[in-house]
Amino acid sequence: MATSRVNDFTIKIATVNGTGSASANTLLMKSIFRSGVPVMGKNFFPSNIQGLPTWYEIRVSRDGHVARSGKVEMMVALNPETYARDVREVASGGYLLYDCTWPRPALLSRSDITVLGVPLAQMCNEHFNGVRTRILMKNICYAGVLAALLSLDLERIRGLLAETYAKKPQLVESNMKAIQLGYEYARQHFACPLPISVEPMDRTAGHIMIDGNTAAALGCVFAGATVAAWYPITPSTSLMDAFKGFCERLRIDPETGARRFAFIQAEDELAAIGMVLGASWNGARSFTATSGPGISLMNEFLGLAYYAEVPAVVFDIQRVGPSTGMPTRTQQGDLMACAYASHGDTRHVCLYPANPEECFYMARDAFDLAERLQTPVLVLSDLDIGMNDWMCPDLEWDDAYRPDRGKVLGLDEILKLEKFQRYVDKDGDGIPYRTFPGVHPKAAYFTRGSGHTQFGTYTEDSADYQAVLDRLLRKWETIKQRVPRPLVDGAGGEIGIVSLGSGDSAIQEALAVLRGRGVAVDYLRVRAFPFGEEVERFLAAHRLLFVVEQNRDAQLRSLLTLETAVEKAKLRSLLHYSGLPVSSSFIVEGVLAEIERSAAHPRDIAHA
Amino acid sequence: MTFIAKPKVAHPSLPRNALGFTRRDYEGALSTLCAGCGHDSITAAIVEACWGLSLEPQNLVKLSGIGCSSKTTAYFVSGGHGFNAVHGRMPSIATGANAANRRLSYIGVSGDGDTLSIGLGQFCHAIRRNLDMLYLIENNGVYGLTKGQFSASADIGTRAKKGETNLQPPIDPVLLALDLGATFVARSFSGDKRQLVPLIEAGLRHRGFALIDVLSPCVTFNDHEGSTKSYAYTREHYERTVLADFVPREREITVEYAAGETREVTLHDGSRIVLRKLETDYDPTDRAAAAAKVQQRMGEGEHLTGLIYLDASGERPEFHQVSGTPEEPINSLPYEALSPGSKGLAKILDRYR
């Protein structure tokens, strides 16, 4: 490697799932984070419990880039089954670390990389007893090797182990022994540290490492959600697990031991969304989390919630479709399915968090919006955000916050009414007033998905039916004013990128690279559906727009063409749908190639 | 079907309950069902039961799915909120609603199509959770709104109006409920108000899941000869096994029962059910025996009715006991009791450094 890559490189660790490598990988990532160096970890795991290939990518970036770079400088190849492709993936000038207990001369076929062999299995067999222990320790051992190669602080690692195994101190010693074995071996056999190494910085203060599902669950706790109903589905399950975990610590009545939350594992997603609607209709903040297949099943109830105006919060942690697809890989494939979920004229508020920090705040906003607007709010995260650890600024909470319950009439207001009318637009914003059961007989109304008048009674009269449907459209206009606004970076250029969600970090890095090369590119990140005026303005102001998204069918581009006045020909798609998170280099290359192409054929842009 | 508004005037001589309400105060919108529909009789029985229990109208939550039966929740207790869910998914709405506020009374009205076909899964899981609700099936063996297809409760050999004979075995909600551990299982007939009203009263007061399967003939599509759910067939093959008299907590037992034929069961709120056995060898607290008896009579083409099984011991925890939720409704907890605040957040974040 020609230039030093201190605090600027990617390690990829190839192992077999179910062998304890996750602990080693977290240990490595956290020890880098605690050195004050920005770091990101991405887990590419199989839909399987044990025995299939799994990879973990750690990006170390002194500049704070937390997307995949698209390059791997150090490959830890511990899975013979994937050796061939793992070796191929190492960047020229990079390193490959492998277990040389069984020498693999074929691995040395690449002359442009450095192969480092460590007899991990042999060392662990000599020092540990029991098959399972030996396998687990082999994986901790490579963390020791990397600690030496990358110059990681052993005391910091010991500290992390002590925290992890606070309840089982004997494990700290055995793990540390494995770390030491690897560490010593590397020090004796290789020139440590390598040019790719970690030097302490001070760039992680005020930050945490957290995954989006945990952050979203925290947001639900702080928003005051009390009823959580769901059916297990990867990659959303950890959101519900985290919510339950937080509530079991924070929501137990100290005197009675009662749990101030209801946590319901439903029989399926059809029931999960029904429970959310029932609870929400009855005055509790309620939510569910699911993924694509669950959204498909929830469609009918989502239509009822839209039409009967029942608040609901649904987290869609998107995974690869169609159908079962690849359940443990990431995608943004549910954009259309969520925006227009259900039959008939339906449309839904969607929020698009880009990272765990936004998952936290948007979870809170989702409840306020759902109750204020009396409609379902879908929060579209994805597996990359939801299940990977991201570095993000400390989450903050304003103690003055109180839930916005929207237009709910209490007993005093009901008593003053002559008559309660559920769907009458009293304020001209399209949002009617609602009441909760059990308050007063005068406030009772009938909630139904069948045709209803503005008074809530059954109807098959065209004019009465249309009056309600048209009022819902007026509400949609109000909604546009209230959803999170897009974020815009740069202005006045001719070329722009439009995107949403988890591609943000890769785009941020790509923008830096492009601007560094003199290519001026503006950027708008959509954060909610429906789109507002700012999106319209940005689209109108740019000559060429790249729509970056992680699906095959350009779903964001479709939504933009359907819902805004943008000229379709201006929109160029950069589509990444392999199931892995999009990398910055993919975007840089895509933008440059298109600019080059249109420079060669300038008429294309005007007349495409 | 009519669009005439129902007048809300009560004759001064109408009897009033403990709250000062007449039966008219428990009525709802005018029914749009066919004249003679069994469902309307059930609606009347619900009105009678709610009046008899002196229920605060706003404390009754009415839930239903889709179908003729599910329309009926609009026809009683207009002072209570109603939720007409999607087809077969009333139980999930009931579960969420009940989770949010355990203090209200929940009545779900469903049909045999809504419960035993599209909603079978949700029906089973509501029983499994022992959700505190009264689940009433208006069972007529036929799809009415779509004009006469067999439902999953149609008996083998029963004939459709157009002549087709059903060859598939029925799914019996009573047997299913017994098998799934329901604690209150009853069957009745829309034409037997004397039996049905106390069952509804008891079912509303029972803590946990109460099922009443009510045979409710469809006068338009399933009331002909050859149908096993017609008025004529039901009257002829209808067997009462245990009559249940409901006695609210505040009332004395005034009826005199012959020694040995009754058994008294006290509910969690102090109300009592007096079970009158019409067959001496029948034990309504023996689940296995109850199931065997139902099955035996079904085989003979008879409809066994009454309070078929009751477990008021409270040994089977209901949904909230399993969930460990507080006594007060969860929807009334103040925000301060739910959020850890900024200080709490700071402590939580330390675990992610």
3-state SS track over B110-158: EEHHHHHCCCHHHHHHHHHCCCCEEEEEEECCEECCCCCEECCCCCCCC
DSSP string, A80-130: GGGHHHHHHHEEEEEEEEEETTS--GGGGG-TTSEEEEE-HHHHHHHH--S
Q: Could you tell me if residue B10 is inside a domain?
A: no
Distance of CA A94 to the CA centre of its chain: 30
Q: Considering the domain boundaries, does residue B4 fall inside one?
A: no
Whether B221 maps to a domain, the answer reads: yes
Q: What pLDDT, on a 0 to 100 scale, did the predictor assign at position B2?
A: 46
Decide: helix, strand or coil at residue A447: strand
Q: Which of residues 491-530 of A touch B (CB under 8 A)?
A: none
Q: Is residue B11 part of a domain?
A: no
Residue B253 lies in a domain: yes
- Whether the model clears a pTM of 0.90, i.e. scores above it, the answer is yes
So what's the pLDDT on residue B275?
A: 81
Half-sphere exposure of A126 (CA within 13 A, CB side): 10
* CA A141 distance to own-chain centroid: 31
CB A290 within 8 Å of CB A334: no
The whole-number pLDDT of residue A47 equals: 87
The confidence score (pLDDT) of residue B100 equals 98
Is residue B87 a part of any domain in this protein?
Answer: yes
On the CB side of A433, CA atoms within 13 Å amount to: 14
If contacts are CB pairs under 8 Å, which of residues 322-341 in chain A contact chain B?
Answer: none
Q: Which two tokens stand for residue A446?
A: 């009938």
Query: Å from B63 to nearest chain A CA?
Result: 9
- Residue B19 has a pLDDT of 95
Across the strands, what pairs with A288? A314
User: What residue ranges define each of the domains in chain A, with the CATH number in brackets?
Assistant: 8-189 (3.40.920.10), 210-393 (3.40.50.970), 411-482 (no CATH), 487-607 (3.40.50.920)
φ and ψ at residue B5, rounded to 5 degrees = -70, 145
**What stretches of B156-230 show up as alpha helix (H) in DSSP?**
173-179, 193-205
What pLDDT sits at residue A141? 95
In a domain, B14, yes or no: no
Instruction: Tell me which residues of chain A have a pLDDT lower than 50.
Output: 1-2, 605-608
A221 near B CB under 8 A = yes
Those of residues 83-122 in B touching chain A at CB distance below 8 A are 83-86, 89, 91-101, 103-104, 121-122
User: How many CB atoms neighbour CB A129 within 10 A?
Assistant: 7
In the chain, the amino acid numbered A259 is R
Contacts of B247 (CB under 8 A, 6+ apart): B253, B271, B272, B273, B274
pLDDT at A602: 62
Say if residue B1's pLDDT is above 50: no
pLDDT per position as a tens digit, B18-44: 999 999 999 999 999 999 999 999 999
* Minimum-distance CB partner of A258 among B74, B96, B324: B324
What is residue B57's predicted lDDT score, i.e. its pLDDT?
A: 97
**Structural domain count, chain B:** 1
ipTM of the complex: 0.95
Domain assignment of residue B101, given as a range? 23-352
Residues of chain A contacting B82 with CB distance shorter than 8 Å = 444-448
Angstrom distances, CA of residue B192 to CA of A232, A250, B142, B198:
45, 52, 20, 11
Q: Determine the distance from the C-alpha atom of residue B252 to the mean position of all C-alpha atoms in its chain, rounded to a whole number.
A: 26
Interface check for A448 against chain B (CB to CB < 8 A): the answer is yes
For tokens 């010991």, name the residue: A158
Cβ(A325)–Cβ(A443) below 8 Å: no
B24 in A contact zone (CB under 8 Å):
no
**Domain harbouring B309, CATH code:** 3.40.50.970
Chain A hits for B125, CB-CB cut-off 8 Å, are 266-267, 271
Question: Can you tell me the distance from the alpha carbon of A22 to that of A203, in angstroms, rounded to the nearest whole number?
Answer: 25
Tell me what percent of the residues of chain B surpass a pLDDT of 90: 78
A39 beta partners? A60
Nearest by CB: B345 against A274, A397, A437: A397
Question: Are residues A224 and B61, on separate chains, in Cβ contact within 8 Å?
Answer: no
